Structure 1
Amino acid sequence: MLIRVAEITDIADMFRVRISVNENKATMADLAKYGITPESLPKMLSGHGRGWVVEIDGITRGFAMADAANATVFALFVEPGFEGQGIGRALMNEAEKWLAGMGCQQIWLETDSNLRVRANGFYRYTGWIESNMQPDGQVKFIKNLS
């Protein structure tokens, strides 16, 4: 497993992984409604944004993205068939380490409030604390880095 900072050349693979997931499914059209497109992603990977990819045998199998200006991890996805191998944890560790290095003391993320959704349990297991329910039905989690 190789983890590295995401580059513009990784964008197509990041979208491939994103639309492949079984939970929190989204199509390219769904993502575009939120302004997440291949054209918008480069800006999210620079400045106060950063992304990471995990490669196995040279193929991207997961990615994460964070935004230091908003102190948030806003994407973490692992391709089906590669869950349970430590990819999500490795990506989250990179995001948390980078956000701490950028001066963030408390970070946040949102995910499905359904307790049966694996991401919900993953965040709890890795030290995130449920904060509150959002108007759209998502649950907000926070984590102190200091």
Structure 2
Amino acid sequence: MTVAIRVATANEVPILNAIRTSVRENHMSLERMADYGITPEVIARVITTTGRGFIASVDGVDAGISIAEAEAGCIFAMFVLPDYEGMGLGRLLMAKAERFLFEAGCRDVWLEAGAVEGLRAHGFYAHLGWRHDGLMPDGQLRFVKSRDELVRGPAA
């Protein structure tokens, strides 16, 4: 198995959206994304200005994405196609996104995850050292991580 991660270009927004809309948990359609103001144009602008998108491929198949946005200091997206879960792609994509944010000067970063009970993402983020930090105004769970935690590692 050959895994490669590349920086996404504006021309690859359809790939980012295809992976985002193909997940089982925390699924969101293109229409619902647009309702939240997440359009292809917005994504293209983010990944070519204050953010970066990353695409993980396995044996040439685009299988996972992450998007980090430095101005807001957040992980905007991290998704892996269902058939490619459990291969470590999420961990690799999160590491790329976190590194981008911390190298961009962010000290404390955040992400939000669905508030649905038992969502696997909650355990995944906790395993990577993210701390639950309450609720976002829209009811999503907020997770945070500081640059110091990345350097020292999460507290035991």
TM range (shorter): over 0.9
Residue number in structure 2 paired with 1:76: 78
- Separation of aligned partners in 2, 1:59 and 1:131: 35
Please give the root-mean-square deviation of Cα atoms over the aligned residues, in Å: 1.1
Amino acid across the alignment from 1:17: I
Alignment counterpart, residue 36 of structure 1, candidates 38, 52, 67:
38
- Separation of aligned partners in 2, 1:112 and 1:94: 22
State the TM-score, normalized to the length of structure 1.
Answer: 0.95
- Separation of aligned partners in 2, 1:32 and 1:113: 20
Is 1:10 the counterpart of 2:19 in the alignment? no
Residue number in structure 2 paired with 1:26: 28
Alignment counterpart, residue 125 of structure 1, candidates 108, 124, 127:
127
Contact 2:9 2:48 in 1 (8 A): no
SS at match of 1:130: strand
Q: Mapping of 1:94-109 within 5 angstroms?
A: 94-109=96-111
Higher helix proportion (structure 1 or 2): 2
Contact 1:129 1:143 in 2 (8 A): yes
Is 1:142 the counterpart of 2:140 in the alignment? no
Structure 1 unaligned segments of length 5 or more: list them.
none
Structure 2 unaligned segments of length 5 or more: list them.
149-156
Give me the identity figure in percent: 39
- Separation of aligned partners in 1, 2:125 and 2:115: 12
The runs of 4+ residues in structure 1 deviating greater than 3 Å are none
Question: May I ask how many residue pairs the two structures share in their alignment?
Answer: 146
State the TM-score, normalized to the length of structure 2.
Answer: 0.89
Structure 1, residues 52-85: CA drift from partner, whole Å, max 9, x if none?
Answer: 0001122210100011111100100001111110
- Separation of aligned partners in 2, 1:138 and 1:96: 20
SS at match of 1:42: helix
Residue number in structure 2 paired with 1:86: 88
Is 1:57 the counterpart of 2:59 in the alignment? yes
